Structure 1
Amino acid sequence: MTNDILIAKTEYGKVRGKQTISALGTEYISFLGIPYAKPPVGSLRFKDTQKPEPWSEIYDAIEEKSHCLGIDSTTKTVKGSEDGLYLNIFTKNLKPNKLYPVIVYIHGGAFLSGSSKLDIYSPDFFLMADVIVVTFNYRVGPLGFLHLNDPELNVPGNTGLKDQLMVLKFVRDNIENFGGDRNNITLVGHSAGGGSVSYHCIVEASKNLFHRAIIMSGCALNMWALTPQRDWAMRLAKILGYEESEEEKNILEFLQNADPVKMTEVQKKLIRPEEFGKITFAFAPHIEPYKTSETFISKRPIELIRTAWSNDIDILIGGTSDEGLMYLENIREMPALLTSLKLTNMVPVEITGLSVDDPIRLEFVEKLRQTYYSSSEPTKDELGFCKLQTDRCFWHGLQRIVQGRQNSGGTGRTFLYRFAVDSPTQNYYKISRFGPDLRGVCHGDEISYLFKNKCCAVPEQNTLEFKSIQRFVSVFTSFASNGNPNSNVIGADMESVEWKPVETREPPFKCLNIEEHLKFEILPETERLAVWDELYKTTKTPLY
C-alpha cells in the first residue's frame, strides 16, 4: 500500500495508519492512538470531556498510546497515564464500494481498570466480516467518576461515561472517512462496558448516536452499576493526607494536585465495613448532584428504562453460564468473604424496609439455601457462592432489562444469548486466574471468542474453539451488519438453529444457548431467577 492509502481525514486533522495482517490472514489498516479529547490533566482533572485541539501535521496513528490510569487486574498495581483518551480504528479499506457497518466496543474492568490494548482486544476475529471496529480508553476510578456537590466547581462526575459519549460523537462525525457507515453503528460492551452500553441506551445524551446495541455480562440494573452519593471526595482527600476544612473548593484544589497513582491505589479503602455488600465501588456511575448542559445520569436507571429511547432499537443481551466463578479470586484473597457469609445480607440494596428478622427476609434466605446450596454449608461452599453471585450480580439484572423492554411498548426487538463454551485452552479469563482444570464458563471468558489476545493461540480450524469463535463472531457481525443475527455474514456453521427475538412479556424467556452445539431454548437459569423475582414482587419493589 502506498502511504496515501493509509491517510484518513478527521475534523481535527489528518491521521496516518499502518497496514496490518490479521492472525487469519486478513489485510486491514490500523489507526492506533487517535486523540479524541483534550488530555484531562491539570485543571481538567475530574472535568467533563473536551474536544481535542486540531493538528496541522499528519498525525502518525501507528502505535498504541498509554491507557487511562487504573488498577491492573493481574498485577494489582496501578498502570497507565492521565493522558489516556485515545481511540483505535480498524478498517479493511478507507474507500470501500459499500460503507462498512461499525462496531464500537467499550471495555470492562469494574470501572477501576481496563484498556483497549491489543494484548487483549486485537480485532482479528471480528475482521472475518466486512466491519469496522473501534476500541478506546476512558477514565476509570476517581479520575473517571469523582463528583462534588457545589455547581460552581463544575465536577458533577461520570466523566468516564462522558468520555465514551465523546467517542460516539467522534465516530458519528468522522467514521465515513475510514470507510464506515455513520448510519449503521452498533455499540457493544462487556461487564462495566456492558453496564455503560446499558446507560447509553437509557440516557438522552446518547440518543441516536448508535443504531443497535449489544450488552454483555453487565447492565445498569446490576447492583454494582450505580453507586450511591457519599462523601467520596472527602474520604479520598483524607486518606491522601488532607487535613483542612470540608469546603469542596479546597478539597478539589488538593485532589487536583494529588498524586494520581496514589489516588487510584487507595480507592478500594474508602468503603467502610458497614457499607460492605451494599456498595461495590466508591467510584462508578452515579446520579449527578445537579443538572448541567452535559448531565449524563439524572435519575435512577429503573426510572430511565421505562421511557428509554432505545426501547425502539434492537439489542442483543446476555452473559456466560458461570459469571460468578470470578468471585473465586475474591474468596482466595479474602477468605472471610465466605467464612463470614450471611445469606441475610444477600437481599438486594433496592429492597428496603426489611428488618433482620422480617419473615419475608427469612423466607428468602431459606429459598437461597435450597436453590444454591442444597445440603452444603454456605460458609464452606465456594461454588455455591459463585452460583449465587452469578444470578445476584449479573443474570437477574440482565433478565430485568429484557422484562423492561418487553413491557415498554417499544418497537425494538430483544435477542437473548447465553455463552457456555467450556474450553481448557480458549477461556482466557478463567485460565489466567485459576488454570485450565476448573470447569464452567467464567465472567469474561467469552471475550477471547470475539477478540484475539496474546495468551491464546489461534485454534485449529476444525476445533470446537474455532467453530465457537466463528459462531459468536457471526451473530455479532450479522446483527451489526443488518439487524438479523441469523444472517450469517461469515458463513459459520450455525447448525440450522434460528435465533428468534424474545416474544413474551414475562419469563421464561428463550435464548440462544451457545455450547458445543447451538440450542434455542428457555434460559437455563430461569428457575433460579424466579426466586429473586418473587422477592421483588412480595416487597412491591419494581422489577422494571
Structure 2
Amino acid sequence: MDPDQPIDASKPESLRPTRWQFFRNLSSCAKSLILLSIAGVALLIIIAVVAFLYLPRHVPMVLLQQGTYQGVMMFRSDFNTAVEGFMGIPYAHSPLGELRFARPRPVFNSNETFKASKYGPSCPGTSLTNSSESDSSSEDCLTVNVFRPALEINEPLPVGVYFHGGGFSRGAARNHDTASMVSWAEPFIGVSFNYRLGALGFLNSEMMHEQKVLNLGLHDQVMLLDWVQQNIAAFGGDPEQVTVFGNSAGAHSIGHHLYNNKTVFHRAIMESGGPFSRALHPYNSTLNEKQFQTFMSEVNCTDIKCLRKANITNILNASDTVFSRWGPSLRWAWQPVIDGELVPGRPLENTPRNVTILTGFNTNEGSVFVPRNLSTSTEFDNFFNTLLPQLNRSTLNTTGATAPTINETVAEIYPEKEYVEWRKVGKQFRRLEAAYGQYAYSCAVRQNAAIFDNVYLYHWAVNRTVLGGASHGDQVSYEVMSNDVRRISSTQRQLARLFHGYITSFIVHGDPNGGYDDDDRPNWSQVSDRNKTMIIGLGNNERAGGSSKGVVAQLVHDTWAIDECEYWSVQSRNYED
C-alpha cells in the first residue's frame, strides 16, 4: 500500500491502514532513519537529565586574603530572583581555649579553598525548648554569611548588615532569611553573622573589667564590621554604603555602636530596640556582681584561667541557671554594660554619631515577655518593684521634675480601670504587657527618635494573635518577604511588599521612599515633620482569625503612648545601680 495515498474515510475503521501498517510498509532505509531519530532524541534527553543531576553547575567564588570561598547558587520556589550565597565564613579566630573569654582575634591569611555552602553553627546560649539551635551550636561560631543577587552588576552595591536579636542570650544569623530579602529587593549585598551570647559573650563584672574582657559580644560585632570594611568589595559590595539593621537585641547593639567610634557604618535601622531600651547598668553594679558570683559558684571557678579550662557544658548550664534565676523579663542577665569604651556611658550623657535612622516599635511589645497569670494590683506592683527597685515613690518625688506625671508611680501611670482583661489569662496581663512593653521597647524607640536629627519612625500594628496582638518581632517576617505571611491573603502580601520595600529602599538609597516601584506605598516623611509616624497594618486582624484588613499604611501625627513615654523618658536616669 502506498503510504502517501489518502485515507478513504468512507471505509470502515477496521479496514483503514494503521500507523503500524504504514511503518511496516516503509523501506528498510526509511525505518532505520526513523529509529535512529527516536534514539537520538532519547539520548539527548538522557544527557540533559544527567547533566542537570551530576555535572558541575555554576559555583560562585570569592577570593579573600583568608582564602578562596566556594559559595552556592540559591533559587527557592519562594524567591523572586536567584541569589548567590556564601555562608559560614569565619570573620574572627575561633574563640576556644585561651581565646575563650577574650577579645576576638583576626582570621589568619590562607591560600586554601574552602566551601561556604551552609550556615556555620550558632553561638551557644540559653536553651530553647522548641528549637533546634542547641543541636547545631558550638563555641566555634564566629561566622558571617554574605548574599548577593545572581546578576551581572557593573558597580559596587550598597550593603545591609543584619544584627540578630535574642536578648543577648539566644538567636542566630540563620533565623533571619536574608537571602529571601535580597531576592525580592533592588540589588544590594545582604550580610548576617553570629556573635557570642550569654555568659560567653557578656560575663560582666569587676574581675572581667580588670581582664579587659567586658562586652565581648559587642567586640565580636566590631570585628565583624571591620571584616566587612576589608572584604565586602570582593563580593561586589561598597564599603562606603553600609547600613546596619537589627531587631530587639540587634537594635540594642546598633544603638550602643552609635555612641562609640569603633565601628564604620553609614545608616542604621533599629527595630524594637536601641540604646535606651531596658536598664543599662555599670559593669560593677550590684546586680552584675550578684549574677557573676552565682555563675562562678555554679562553674566552681574563682578566676579566668579556670573559666578557660572549664567544661563547656558546665559553662552553659551555669549561664542558663543565672538567666533563669533572674527571669527573662525582670532583671535580664548577660546584657551589655557601661564599660567606658564600647558603651562609654549613659546615652543621655553622650553624643551619638550623626547618621540617618529608621526605627520603630510594635503595639504589643511586652506580650511575649511578661507572665500571663498575674491577677492582682499587688502582683503588678511587685513585678515593677523587682524589675526597677530604684523607681519607688520616694525616689520619684525627689527628681525635681515639674511635669505632673513624673511624680507618679508606674501603677498610677497605668491605671487598672483602663486595662480591662477579657481573655482567659490573669486580670493584670493586658496592663502588665502594656507597661513593660512601653518601658522596655516602645518608649525607648520614641526616645531614640527624639535624640537623632534625621529619623523615620514606624508603628507596627498588625495583630498576629488574639492574646499577643502586634507582638515583639512580628514585623521581621514581612521584612524578609516570608512566604509564610505572603500566602495568607492579598493584604498580607501587600503588607510584606510595603515593609520590605521601605526597609530595602533605606538600605539602598538612605531613604525609605527611594527607588522602589510601588504606587501603593505612601510617602514617608521624617518624624521631625510634626511627629509624623508611619502606622502599618492598623486594624488588621487576619492572622488572629479575624476578617478585618485594616489600613495597610498611613502617615499620621501619632500620639500613641506619648504620656507614658514622657514618664519613662524622664525616669531613664534612675535605672542604673
TM-score interval for Structure 1 and Structure 2 normalised by the shorter chain: 0.7 to 0.9
The one of 435, 440, 451 equivalent to 2:469 is 440
Distance 1:446 1:538, change over 3 A: closer
Aligned to 1:19: 73
In 1, the alpha carbon distance for the partners of 2:381 and 2:306 equals 39
- Give the CA deviation at 1:442: 0.8
Q: Go from structure 1 to structure 2 and tell me whether the alpha carbon gap of 1:237 and 1:478 turns closer, same or farther (over 3 Å shift).
A: same
From the superposition, tell whether residues 87 and 151 of structure 1 become closer, same or farther in structure 2 (CA, over 3 Å).
closer
CA distance in 2, matches of 1:338, 1:365: 8
1:218 is the counterpart of 2:269:
no
Tell me the secondary structure at the aligned position of residue 399 of structure 1.
helix
In the TM superposition, what is the alpha-carbon distance from 1:348 to its structure 2 partner? 8.0
Mapped contact 1:147–1:155 kept (Cα < 8 A): no
1:270 deviates by: 3.3
Which residue number corresponds to residue 511 of structure 1?
A: 533
User: Within 5 A, what are the aligned runs for 1:366-385?
Assistant: 366-369=412-415, 372-373=418-419, 380-385=427-432
For the pair shown, which has the larger CA radius of gyration, 1 or 2? 2
d(CA) in 2 for partners of 1:3, 1:177: 21
1:266 to 303, 307, 318: 318
Contact 1:414 1:501 in 2 (8 A): yes
Distance 2:181 2:572 in 1: 46
State the one-letter code of the partner of 2:368.
M
Equivalent of 1:502 in 512, 515, 527: 527
Matched ranges for 1:89-488 at <5 A = 89-93=146-150, 96-117=153-174, 120-129=176-185, 130-150=187-207, 154-206=211-263, 209-224=264-279, 226=281, 229=284, 230-231=288-289, 232-242=291-301, 250-267=302-319, 269-270=321-322, 280-288=331-339, 295-304=341-350, 307-309=351-353, 312-327=354-369, 330-331=371-372, 340-342=379-381, 345=384, 349=388, 354-355=393-394, 364-369=410-415, 372-373=418-419, 380-405=427-452, 412-423=453-464, 437-438=466-467, 440-451=469-480, 457=484, 459-460=486-487, 463-488=490-515
Distance apart, 1:421 and its partner CA: 2.4
Counterparts in 2 of 1:52 and 1:95: CA distance versus 1, 3 Å = farther
Partner of 2:110: 55
Q: Work out whether residues 376 and 428 of structure 2, in 8 Å CA contact, stay in contact via their aligned partners in 1.
A: no
For 1:110-151, what per-residue CA distance to the aligned partner results, in whole angstroms no more than 9, with x for missing partners? 00000011x542421332121111011000101001135358
1:128 counterpart letter in structure 2: W
- On the 8 A contact 2:380/2:428 being kept in 1, the answer is no
The question of whether the paired residues in 2 share the 8 Å contact of 1:122 and 1:452 is answered with no
- Alpha-carbon distance in structure 2 between the residues aligned to 1:36 and 1:81: 15
Q: Is the 8 A contact 2:81 2:150 kept in 1?
A: no
For residue 88 of structure 1, what is the aligned residue in structure 2?
145
Aligned partners of 2:504 and 2:519: how far apart in 1?
15
Q: Work out whether residues 197 and 215 of structure 1, in 8 Å CA contact, stay in contact via their aligned partners in 2.
A: yes
Query: 1: CA distance between counterparts of 2:571 and 2:59?
Result: 63
Is 2:147–2:182's contact at 8 Å kept on the other side of the alignment? no
Q: 2:361, 2:442 within 8 Å by CA — same for their partners in 1?
A: yes
Structure 2 CA distance for aligned equivalents of residues 343 and 356 of structure 1: 17
Deviations 1:164-217 (A, max 9, x none): 1111111111111111111111100100001011111111212xx111100000
Counterparts of 1:211 and 1:150, CA distance in 2: 35
Change (3 A) 1:352 1:502: same
Corresponding position of 2:94: 39
The alpha-carbon deviation at position 460 of structure 1 amounts to 4.0
Query: Which residue of 2 is the match for residue 70 of structure 1?
Result: 125
AA at the equivalent of 1:533: E
Q: Deviations over 1:11-64 (max 9, x none)?
A: 312111111114224111100100000010111111111111222211110112
| Residue identity in the other structure for 1:63 | K
Q: In structure 1, how many angstroms separate the alpha carbons of the residues matched to 2:282 and 2:324? A: 14
Matched letter for residue 60 of structure 2: L
- One-letter amino acid matched to 1:317: T
User: What CA deviation, in whole Å up to 9, does each residue of 1:226-248 have, x standing for no partner?
Assistant: 57533243321102334xxxxxx
What SS does the corresponding residue of 2:173 show, helix, strand or coil? Answer: coil
**1:282 alignment partner AA:** A
Bigger Cα displacement from structure 2, 444-453 vs 318-327: 444-453
Secondary structure of the 1:70 match is coil
What SS does structure 1 have at the residue aligned with 2:206? coil
**Higher relative contact order at CA 8 Å, sep ≥6: structure 1 or structure 2?**
1
- Classify the secondary structure of the residue corresponding to 1:205: coil
Q: Which letter maps to 1:71?
A: T
TM-score using structure 1 length: 0.81
Q: Give a deviation string over 1:339-395, Cα, whole Å, max 9, x none.
A: 732168369849667438969755553232158526999962312211222211111
The answer to whether the 8 A contact 2:121-2:138 is kept is yes
Shift of 1:400: 1.0
Paired residue type of 1:251? D
Distance 1:170-1:375 versus aligned 2 partners, 3 A rule: closer
SS at match of 1:88: strand
Question: Compared with structure 1, are the counterparts of its residues 93 and 181 closer, same or farther at alpha carbon in structure 2 (3 Å cutoff)?
Answer: farther
Are the aligned partners of 2:331 and 2:387 in contact in 1 as well (CA < 8 Å)? Answer: no
**Which 5+ residue runs of structure 2 have no aligned equivalent?**
1-54, 399-405, 538-550
Partner residue of 2:542? none
Q: Deviations over 1:463-521 (max 9, x none)?
A: 111111111111111111111211242x23534x22111226xxx72211111421101
Counterparts of 1:346 and 1:511, CA distance in 2: 33
Contact 1:220 1:301 in 2 (8 A): yes
Contact (CA 8 Å) 1:186, 1:211: kept in 2 or not?
yes
User: Do 1:107 and 1:189's aligned partners in 2 also have CA atoms closer than 8 Å?
Assistant: yes
Cα distance per residue 1:523-543 (max 9 Å; x no partner): 352xx331341465599979x
Structure 1 window deviating more from structure 2 (154-163 vs 337-346): it is 337-346
Which amino acid is the alignment partner of residue 457 of structure 2? L
- Distance in 1 (CA, whole Å) between partners of 2:222 and 2:572 is 36
Residues 93 and 177 (structure 1), Cα distance of their counterparts in 2 relative to 1, 3 Å cut: farther
Taking structure 1 as reference, are residues 492 and 337 closer, same or farther at Cα in structure 2, changes over 3 Å only? farther
SS at match of 2:179: coil
Maintained 8 Å contact 1:107/1:190: yes
**What is the distance in 2 between the residues matched to 1:352 and 1:366?**
13
2:514 alignment partner, SS class: coil
Cα distance between partner residues in 2 of 1:113 and 1:55 = 31
1:533 aligned residue: 566
Matched residues, number = 492
